[in-house]
Structure 1
Amino acid sequence: MTKKHGPWTIDSVRTAYENPWITIRHHEVTRPDGKPGVYGLVNFANRAIGILPLFADGTVPMVGQFRFPLGRDTWEIPEGGGPKAEDPLLSAQRELKEETGCTAGGWHEYGQSDLSNSVTDERAHYFLAWDLTQGEAAPEPDEVFQYKRVTLAELLADIHAGRVDDALTQLCVLTAITKARAGELPDVPSRIILDQVG
């Protein structure tokens, strides 16, 4: 099997590793410079989902958890994965409920991005959630969460100071602020955001 792939040529591909969440594929390639090479690619079974939930008082529920790849605890907005065959909104609603216990009366998808396009095909969808009702979280058996609420202004300061370094959290917060300032979000979440960060 030889196949053109942009300026690359894929000469062969094999699955090097697979589990329910990822598949790692090893490609033997001809590089754009004409020389032989290899390329490893991580394919994700799910899409990434990030939710920026906004209480009317300008606070945001944050989730703390131990991240295995980093070997440390992190603070993040609610986020997770959703099957590619499922409506991303349904995935977002489930993740918000599982991780924080919150349900939302208002939802708006406001961005997508490729999270690490040099080695993965993982694509993220981000949502605003507002008109929140607090309930009981329902984490999956392998999830252990901490929970806190901070103002959006505090969260933005923590991002700038490097205390919140999760990429999806940063993308969701900074994109929401930029779009609120540009008048590109629904009225209610836009008011909450602008009341906090101007």
Structure 2
Amino acid sequence: MFKRAFGKAKQEASPLPTIHKLNDTLDMLEKKEKVLVKKATQETEKAKQFTQAKNRNAAIKCLKRKRLYEQQIEQLGNFQLRIHDQMIMLEGANATTETVDALRSGTSVMKAMNKATKIDDLEKTMDEINDQTESMKQIQEALSAPIGAAADFDEDELEAELEELEGAELEEELLQPATSATAAPAPPVSVNPEAGRQPTRPASQRNNREEDELAALQAEMAL
């Protein structure tokens, strides 16, 4: 019942129906103003015609009616200004009301969220997350720990042995260039072009033999 009454009061307090009614009234006043302007223009034309016809009294009556129309036009203009002023005020009040309602709704939602998420619940949740993280670290450490024969190895001894190997390898690298540089180069092998050849005869013997062969050939030709 209270809710229904509150909703009805809120609906009656809404400026929207009043704004619509004022807008309709403004349209009606504008239409009347157009009609009165038209009538005032017609009376002015009639007054001109009566003036040309030398009918002074009729022309004055037309001008009086024109003045009355103009007074009504001015009054309608004032009404329109008042309606415009009230519409602006109501529209501003409506915007203010909607803004307040929106802020109130946001505040209610924030209160509900804060109520649903208390600081104690948040701390409890963070503690649970930290506990689970610590448990996971312990599980990983237990799985990665060496077992069996690997668990008996002394890490310090292994590190010392590794350092000895690295030192020996470094010494070999330092000594290798010095050894290659101090080694004496092998003497070049000389090749004797005359090796393997048969001993040649003296030049005098070779000339005598040639002369004998030439003499024998000449004797054969003479025969």
Task: Please say whether Structure 1 and Structure 2 have the same fold, judged by a TM-score greater than 0.5.
Answer: no
User: Highest relative contact order (Cα 8 Å, sep 6+), 1 or 2?
Assistant: 1
**Rg: which structure is higher?**
2
TM range (shorter): under 0.3
Say which structure is richer in helix: 2
Say which structure is richer in strand: 1
| TM-score, structure 1 as length reference | 0.16
